[in-house]
Amino acid sequence: MSHAEGLEGSSEADRNSSMMANSLTVTLLNIQVICDSSLVFNTGSGGEMQQKNLEGYVGFANLPNQVYRKSVKRGFEFTLMVVGESGLGKSTLINSLFLTDLYSPEYPGPSHRIKKTVKVEQSKVLVKEGGVQLLLTIVDTPGFGDAVDNSDCWQPVIDHIDNKFEDYLNSESRVNRRLMPDNRVHCCLYFIAPSGHGLKPLDIEFMKRLHEKVNIIPLIAKADTMTPEEGQQFKKQIMREIQEHKIRIYEFPETDDEEEIKLVKKIKERLPLAVVGSNTIIEVNGKRVRGREYPWGVAEVENGEHCDFTILRNMLIRTHMQDLKDVTNNVHYENYRSRKLAAVTYNGADNNRNKGQLTKSPLAQMEEERREHVSKMKKMEMEMEQVFEMKVKEKIQKLKDSEAELQRRHEQMKRNLEAQHRELEEKKRQHEDEKAQWETQQRQLEQQKLEASRTLEKNKKKKIF
């Protein structure tokens, strides 16, 4: 048993030995991970980070056990997709991998279910081992590559993967999130026919289209049809072609653990893995093994010299299953999500301009747009105000000017009139004066005349007498 019992009893007596036991647990783990004390931590939240030394027992070294316990209680899930032409031994391999009759006469494998068009189907099985429960979903693609015209036969596969991402995205984005089932495809085993020459155009097309959506592990099927040398050549050729077409197959995570580095190096040398599967158990040298019996011998499935099955099983199930899930979650899913959300946020907007702004959430983006809009409106308002004020001022000025002008004219006319008036008065006065003078003169003359005439009359009268 890999997990040391008794740690969870947590009675006081355990305290002194638990620290020892903790180290024991660590060594018994399948993967040796020596924690590097120079791990860099992100200190975003405000306090500066200080390294402190413990002066005695605290107990958080038990955290890994708590995590272990909870994960076992929760159970695990994994979705594996198998893709390849019919007859390549996919179902047999799955049965061999999981040592169970996943595919059986009642639940036939993809090669027995060929449809007219490529379908994507999944079956779920619940398996238990050592107290650990695993919900395994196998997705297969009956009909893949079997038609005469195989153009776009990868499309249903892409659609299936995207649908699962979409489902996860929607359930992750709900307001009320309850349990989020993880149906995303964690790994895709791609079966390459053992032609011995190289990849087929279909293989290349498929892998190119799917390497950014799912972890692809290419396998050489029915490896017992090749001799070791032929196998080597074939593998080299395939890896060359994969690199040439810039296909990114599943990469092992970086690690600082020496042993793990060695392990990974060994695996890498033997990529792509050449596998043999079998549903039958044969007796060889007194041992019961899975294998394929030929007149000339038995090809053993679990024999490392016969094929790479053991390496595949160890890698897929015993050491890197969690990492496959993590890469799916942190890389493939995040790629899908950011592409999807960017499309929704920048609906119609110029994508080049916005490439650098993907660090925001769509809501934050809307907030920012709102702020921009508010300031734009403010500016517009100010401008309009300015123009308005200016025009009003102009108009008022014009009115003032016009008023002043009219006033001026009025004043002038008034003055003219007054001048005329005065002139007239003057003339009148002169005339009056003259008239008065003349009249006085006339009167004088009249008086004189009258006197003269009277004198004359008098004289006349005197003369007569």
Partner 1 sequence: MCGIWNEEKRNLNLGGHVGFDSLPDQLVSKSVTQGFCFNILCVGETGIGKSTLMNTLFNTMFENEEASHYQNSVYLRPRTYDLQESNVHLKLTIVDTVGFGDQINKEDSYKPIVDYIDTQFESYLQEELKIKRSLFNYHDTRIHICLYFIAPTGHSLKSLDLVTMKKLDSKVNIIPIIAKADTISKSELHKFKIKIMSELVSNGVQIYQFPTDDEAVTEINASMNAHLPFAVVGSVDEVKVGNKTVRARQYPWGVVQVENESHCDFVKLREMLIRVNMEDLREQTHARHYELYRRCKLEEMGFKDTDPDCQPFSLQETYEAKRKEFLGDLQHKEEGMRQMFVSKVKETEAELKEKERELHDKFEQLKRLHQEEKRKVEEKRRDLEEEMNAHNRKKVAAETLALAQPLKKDKDRRN
Amino acid letter, residue 218: P
β-pair type (297-300, 287-294): antiparallel
Q: How many CB atoms lie within 10 A of CB 16?
A: 10
Q: Which is nearer to partner 1, 81 or 192 (CB)?
A: 81
- Residues 119/93, Cβ–Cβ less than 8 Å: no
Name the residue with tokens 């490392």.
304
Q: Which is nearer to partner 1, 61 or 282 (CB)?
A: 61
> Could you say which DSSP state residue 319 is in?
I
For residues 308 and 269, what is the distance between their CA atoms, to the nearest angstrom? 11
- Residues 311/273, Cβ–Cβ less than 8 Å: yes
Q: Would you state the structure tokens that stand for residue 412, as one six-digit string?
A: 């002038």
SS3 392: helix
Supply the minimum distance, in Å, between the C-beta of residue 122 and partner 1.
8
- Residues 188/140, Cβ–Cβ less than 8 Å: no
Q: Which is nearer to partner 1, 238 or 315 (CB)?
A: 315
Supply the minimum distance, in Å, between the C-beta of residue 460 and partner 1.
9
Supply the minimum distance, in Å, between the C-beta of residue 226 and partner 1.
27
Q: Is 252 exposed, middle or buried (0-12, 13-18, 19+ CB in 10 A)?
A: middle
Say which residues have a Cβ less than 8 Å from residue 324's Cβ, sequence separation at least 6.
78, 186, 187, 215, 250, 316
The phi and psi torsions of 193 (rounded to 5 degrees) equal -70, 140
Q: Which is nearer to partner 1, 222 or 320 (CB)?
A: 320
Supply the minimum distance, in Å, between the C-beta of residue 383 and partner 1.
11
Supply the minimum distance, in Å, between the C-beta of residue 250 and partner 1.
15
For residues 301 and 288, what is the distance between their CA atoms, to the nearest angstrom? 12
Supply the minimum distance, in Å, between the C-beta of residue 204 and partner 1.
30
Q: Which is nearer to partner 1, 150 or 345 (CB)?
A: 345
Q: Which is nearer to partner 1, 13 or 148 (CB)?
A: 13
For residues 11 and 5, what is the distance between their CA atoms, to the nearest angstrom? 13
Side by side, the strands of the sheet bearing 297-300 are: 281-284, 287-294, 297-300
Cα three-residue angle 371-377-378, rounded to 5 degrees = 90
For residues 12 and 10, what is the distance between their CA atoms, to the nearest angstrom? 6
- Chain centroid to CA 2: 40
Supply the minimum distance, in Å, between the C-beta of residue 342 and partner 1.
6
> Can you state the angle between helices 201-210 and 155-173, rounded to 10 degrees?
10
Q: Which is nearer to partner 1, 26 or 239 (CB)?
A: 26
Q: Would you state the structure tokens that stand for residue 361, as one six-digit string?
A: 């959430």
What's the N-to-C CA distance of the chain in angstroms?
Answer: 197
Supply the minimum distance, in Å, between the C-beta of residue 170 and partner 1.
5
Q: Which is nearer to partner 1, 240 or 454 (CB)?
A: 454
Whether omega before 272 lies within 30 degrees of 0, making that bond cis, reads: yes
Supply the minimum distance, in Å, between the C-beta of residue 29 and partner 1.
5
Q: Which is nearer to partner 1, 116 or 178 (CB)?
A: 178
For residues 250 and 321, what is the distance between their CA atoms, to the nearest angstrom? 12
Q: Which is nearer to partner 1, 14 or 146 (CB)?
A: 14
Q: Which is nearer to partner 1, 174 or 246 (CB)?
A: 174
Q: Which is nearer to partner 1, 73 or 246 (CB)?
A: 73
Supply the minimum distance, in Å, between the C-beta of residue 461 and partner 1.
14
Name the residue with tokens 């596969």.
157
Supply the minimum distance, in Å, between the C-beta of residue 382 and partner 1.
11
Supply the minimum distance, in Å, between the C-beta of residue 385 and partner 1.
9
